[in-house]
A and B are shown apart, each in its own frame.
Chain A
């Protein structure tokens, strides 16, 4: 039983027209389903949806393409695995992937979040490749995001879902055009997490 205090909630219908910005963090498909509602809200200035909602708006990843979303009303925040994969690629191959020859990754993912109980699997499940060259949707999503910036990304991904709620991990193999030093990797990483292109680092 909920306590009397907890039961005092506002009705969403009463406040929705006063909202300036919406972060849609619902389950798979909710952002795309709700988009027509959001489009009908005349006072709404912006809206973002999570990784599963591919096509909701411009694909965005922090540290990767801030400029491309300026002035955009609908933004798609790419998934955790797209973030992880892109971070690995840019850390080793540079922000423009200028040093990338090819890469392949295996995403080992939990079946669902710790608070949910809908998608648990009883054993490891390997996902089918959606594209003969790119593999699973992870590489497709990453390549789509880089394509927004006219950057070509030679990546193949595979996916295995485990009977766990704990975390995701990535096994990766990245082939570079040129060898690089520890300082290069550190520089790429710091540039990636900085909002500025040039940190003025002394390496």
Chain B
């Protein structure tokens, strides 16, 4: 089962951490987190989630981030 948390904010971050903690109990294969607006000060938090195994996503045509690569 693949789960998406959209958006990574106050509630989303909490849910992502819970999903990571109970990933196997819940039968989850992949956990995705969607961040609409990515600012420089989000970097530490996003990398923390990524290190926990969360796959970070963002809208393709986000202003200023059109050149983001997969």
Q: Which residues of A contact B (CB under 8 A)?
A: 1-3, 5-16, 18-27, 30, 34, 45, 50, 113-116
Kindly report which residue of chain B lies nearest to residue A45, judged by CB atoms.
B1
Main SS of the interface on chain B? mixed
Report chain A residues within 8 Å CB of B34.
12
Known interface pairs A1-B40, A10-B56, A11-B60; A20-B1 also in contact (CB < 8 Å): yes
Number of A-B contacts defined by CB within 8 Å: 100
* CA distance in complex: A116, B47 (Å): 20
Report chain A residues within 8 Å CB of B20.
none
Say which residue of B3, B47, B56 sits within 8 Å of A19 (CB atoms): B3
Instruction: Give the size range of B's interface with the partner.
Output: 20 to 34
Report chain A residues within 8 Å CB of B70.
8-11, 14
Known interface pairs A1-B40, A115-B9; A13-B60 also in contact (CB < 8 Å): yes
Report chain A residues within 8 Å CB of B65.
7, 9
A114 touches B10 (CB 8 A): yes
* CA distance in complex: A27, B35 (Å): 12
- Tell me, yes or no, whether B53 is within 8 Å of chain A by CB: no
Kindly report which residue of chain B lies nearest to residue A24, judged by CB atoms.
B6
Say which residue of B12, B32, B36 sits within 8 Å of A15 (CB atoms): B32
